[in-house]
Amino acid sequence: MGAAPRYARPFVAILVGMVVVCALAPLNLWPFSNWELFSRLRGPVESYWEAVVEDHGLVVADYTIGPHTACVPLLRSATARFGPATDVRIYHVERLLSDRLGSQAAPPYRTLVATCTAKGVRAQS
């Protein structure tokens, strides 16, 4: 096997240097980009779960949760933060990405799944 061509070492050095620079610097230079635009699958519907904390009918907090989050820890946390009269409502939220109101996204569709209270969990049907 013969020696590599003279241009191979500078080429490899430049290539490795570009890979290192793109990995360390916040640059997104093609072909070394991280392809954020195309790296995630997206369907026509965005779906997530949301917990809404209510105190005497007033919404005091709402945040995204996982699909298997249990009612008891949510209620315990909300009661510790906002007091014993707190209710936590769990919603399944779906947003159709093509729905628009002018140039803005349309509001999502929220379906109440369960209500966590001190008296217990009321599942919605």
pLDDT single digits (tens) 17-58: 988 877 787 766 666 666 665 556 678 888 999 999 887 777
Residue 77's nearest CA partner among 105, 51, 110 is: 51
Q: Are strands 109-117 and 58-65 parallel, antiparallel or unpaired?
A: unpaired
48 has which bridge partners? 93
**What's the confidence (pLDDT) of residue 40?**
63
**What's the confidence (pLDDT) of residue 11?**
93
User: Is residue 100 within a helix (H) or strand (E), and if so which, with residue range?
Assistant: strand 100-101
Q: Is 54 helix (H, G, I), strand (E, B) or coil?
A: strand
Please state, for a pLDDT cut of 90, what percent of the chain lies above it.
18
**What's the confidence (pLDDT) of residue 23?**
75
**What's the confidence (pLDDT) of residue 77?**
87
pTM exceeds 0.75 for this model: no
pLDDT at 93 over 90: yes
